Amino acid sequence: MKAYERLIRYAKIWTTSDEESGTVPSAQREFDLAHLLVEEMKELGIEGARVDDKCYVYGFIPATPGMEDAPVCGFIAHLDTAPDFKGKDVKPMIHENYDGGKVTLPGGIVLDPEVFPHLRELKGRTLITADGTTLLGADDKAGISEIMTAAEQLLHSDKPHGRIAIAFTPDEEIGSGAEDLDLEAFGADFAYTVDGGAENEIEYENFNAAAAAFKVAGRSVHPGDAKNKMINAGLVACEINRMLPEAETPSQTEGREGFFHLISISGNVESAEVSYIIRDHSAGGFEARLAALRMIEKRLNEKYGAGCVKLDIAQQYRNMLEKIEPCMYLIENVRTVMKNLGMEPCEPPVRGGTDGAQLSFRGLPCPNLGTGGYAFHGPYEHITVEGMEKVVQVLLGITEVVADMQVN
* Domain positions in the chain: 3-205+319-403, 208-317
Check residue 354 and give its pLDDT.
Answer: 77
Check residue 316 and give its pLDDT.
Answer: 84
Given the residues 80, 140, 239, 381, the one annotated as active site: 80
| pLDDT tens-digit map of 30-75 | 999 999 999 999 999 999 999 999 999 999 999 999 999 999 999 9
User: How confident is the model over 312-316, as a mean pLDDT?
Assistant: 92
Q: Provide the whole-model pTM.
A: 0.87
CA distance 237 to 263: 13
Check residue 407 and give its pLDDT.
Answer: 44
Residues sharing a CB contact under 8 Å with residue 222, sequence separation 6 or more, in sequence order: none
| pLDDT tens-digit map of 168-200 | 999 999 888 888 999 999 999 999 999 999 999
Given the residues 18, 139, 140, 172, the one annotated as active site: 172
Using pLDDT thresholds of 50, 70 and 90, give the confidence band for residue 406. low
CA distance 349 to 112: 25
CA distance 80 to 171: 6
396 close to 153: Cβ distance less than 8 angstroms:
yes
- What homologous superfamily is domain 3-205+319-403 in, according to CATH? Zn peptidases (3.40.630.10)
Model confidence at 337: pLDDT above 70: yes
The percent of residues in the chain predicted with pLDDT above 90, rounded, is 92
- HEC per residue, the chain: CCHHHHHHHHHCCCCECCCCCCCCCCCCCHHHHHHHHHHHHHHHCCEEEEECCCCCEEEEECCCCCCCCCCCEEEEEECCECCCCCCCCCCCEEECCCCCCCEECCCCCEECCCCCHHHHHHCCCCEEECCCCCCCCHHHHHHHHHHHHHHHHHHCCCCCCCCEEEEEECCHHHCCCCCCCCHHHHCCCEEEEEEECCCCEEECCECEEEEEEEEEECECCCHHHCCCCCECHHHHHHHHHHCCCCCCCHHHCCCCCCEEEEEEEEECCCEEEEEEEEEECCHHHHHHHHHHHHHHHHHHHHHHCCCCEEEEEEEEECCCHHHHHHHCHHHHHHHHHHHHCCCCCECCCECCCCHHHHHHHCCCCCCEEECCEECCCCCCCEEEHHHHHHHHHHHHHHHHHHHCCCCC
184 close to 379: Cβ distance less than 8 angstroms:
no
User: How confident is the model over 225-238, as a mean pLDDT?
Assistant: 96
Model confidence at 408: pLDDT above 60: no
Active site residue 257: no
Residue 81, number of CB atoms within 10 A of its CB = 32
Model confidence at 2: pLDDT above 60: yes
Q: Angle at the Cα of 46 (from 43 to 47), degrees rounded to 5?
A: 115
Class of domain 208-317: alpha beta
Model confidence at 92: pLDDT above 60: yes
| pLDDT tens-digit map of 364-394 | 999 999 999 999 999 999 999 999 999 999 9
Taking the CA atoms of 58, 64, 69 and 70 in sequence, report the sign of the dihedral they define: negative
Active site residue 172: yes
- 3-205+319-403 against 208-317: fold identical: no
Using pLDDT thresholds of 50, 70 and 90, give the confidence band for residue 118. very high
